[in-house]
Structure 1
């Protein structure tokens, strides 16, 4: 019986909290949704406080192979904890893994999961446009191959110019990004917080779409509204 859950992934924290917030006893400092969630904070996704997690005596720890470090998860397992690690690179994987997490927690399938699948079945897409998608600067880092965010953008008509790169998050010099002559630069507000004053100026002459990072990178209840919100933000760049 799962009665005590620690989540090391913001998206999974929100997914469980939407159905059964009482199960959550610990979450990372980055788990900001729902805003009213009151649980013990166990530091970040990359530097969890293992001692604090162990002290919470969770029946289950939720993690992700990309967001959490293998060494930390191995330490939790060595201490006897049950650690569920999700693997998400595409929207279908996200929906499947969310279902697995909720079933492991013995929670019924929530309406928002089917609503998310329906919302993404025929999302409001742009005509295909070639784009670069920075997620960091100093150094400039972009979406590369096999990323969840890249899959969502592709479903909205955005052709990622680095989708075939050998790395998932390659560091690309700014002059090389310019040399690609993109139709659009997509600038999310996480993990790097791009804003109207920080990001677009580096791509003068190229339309810049400032997009909600949670809609682009989180997999959970936010997926229901994400296609409409992202589509509107992408379209706004061409006005």
Structure 2
């Protein structure tokens, strides 16, 4: 049996659709055409699930900090009524209502904010949360954020949803051009192998399933754990040293004592293959937004 959902069309959109049917002289409720309540309900489902116009979104909720940033990037920050924990860029995001974080989404609070669009991170937001939000009738759109190409693609998709296609096109083009210039600048430079440490206890590696690692390849920086099936995974110190990285990259958020520990840890390489430990801007590197280029460029300049 058809399951009617209100996540596809605004109330105004539904009314307009019904009106258009009348204009077309389709007498949908003629007794000879639709007999019985079941057929009526089936028709209602068709009307209620008719695709909404993308630019109807006026009350938006984001379930990842980078999605909130992308909405602001497209000049629609004032439409955000709820954001996830750690949504702190730009500054305006910090004052918006929190609706949960890595532990899960607060569905009750989300419903109280009456959003007409919920943006989730495909592969990052819990599938259980996504299913629950859709089951209560909310319009949920998954935005992919894995490869470097997903950033301009995300901008273009959001541009459609927010009615900001022109701005999204400009931002996407600018991003691609910046990455192209970076690739050209380092095209003749030698390959540099790195281990990207995202946690010391337990020791965790970043893979090319993450945008930052994948983006570093533009300047000839190769991740020794690029082949991992997950964006981040636990690894052993032995496995790191066996793969012989030339440099180790660690977040700039680590303390001075942890930085000193890292230096000592990787100096264990008997052949001296690890030349040094380089910090990177974690705030920019871990957000799948145009700002990631700054973090990539800084690392490229440090290693070449």
Calculate the TM-score normalised by the size of structure 2. 0.70
Specify whether residues 150 and 96 from structure 1 end up closer, same or farther in structure 2 by C-alpha distance, changes over 3 A only.
same
State the 1:71 CA deviation. Answer: 0.2
Structure 2: distance between partners of 1:41 and 1:147: 25
Secondary structure (helix, strand or coil) at the match of 1:40 reads: coil
Which residue of 216, 230, 233 maps to 1:153?
216
Q: Deviations over 1:24-54 (max 9, x none)?
A: 1110121110113331111214422111111
Calculate the TM-score normalised by the size of structure 1. 0.87
Of structures 1 and 2, the one with the larger relative CO (CA 8 A, separation 6+) is: 1
**Residue 7 (structure 2) aligns with:** none
Larger radius of gyration: 2
Equivalent residue runs for 1:67-216 within 5 Å? 67-110=124-167, 111-123=170-182, 124-125=185-186, 127-189=190-252, 193-199=253-259, 200-201=262-263, 202-204=265-267, 206=274, 207-216=276-285
**Residue 80 (structure 2) aligns with:** 24
Secondary structure (helix, strand or coil) at the match of 2:61 reads: strand
Whether the aligned pair in 1 keeps the contact of 2:212 and 2:292 (CA below 8 Å) is: no
Secondary structure (helix, strand or coil) at the match of 2:91 reads: coil
State the 1:69 CA deviation. Answer: 0.3
Whether the aligned pair in 2 keeps the contact of 1:196 and 1:210 (CA below 8 Å) is: no
**Residue 230 (structure 1) aligns with:** 299
Question: Gapped runs of 5+ residues in structure 1?
Answer: none
Does residue 10 (structure 1) correspond to residue 71 (structure 2)? The answer is no
Q: Deviations over 1:128-183 (max 9, x none)?
A: 11111111222111023533222111112211111123444231112321222210
Specify whether residues 198 and 36 from structure 1 end up closer, same or farther in structure 2 by C-alpha distance, changes over 3 A only.
same
Specify whether residues 220 and 73 from structure 1 end up closer, same or farther in structure 2 by C-alpha distance, changes over 3 A only.
same
Structure 2: distance between partners of 1:67 and 1:7: 12
Structure 2: distance between partners of 1:230 and 1:94: 19
- Shifted more, 209-218 versus 110-119: the winner is 110-119
How many corresponding residue pairs?
232
Structure 2: distance between partners of 1:146 and 1:69: 17
Specify whether residues 72 and 210 from structure 1 end up closer, same or farther in structure 2 by C-alpha distance, changes over 3 A only.
same
Whether the aligned pair in 1 keeps the contact of 2:65 and 2:84 (CA below 8 Å) is: yes
Which residue of 91, 114, 137 maps to 1:35?
91
Question: Gapped runs of 5+ residues in structure 2?
Answer: 1-55
What is the root-mean-square deviation in Å for CA atoms of aligned residues? 2.1
- Shifted more, 74-83 versus 199-208: the winner is 199-208
State the 1:228 CA deviation. Answer: 3.0
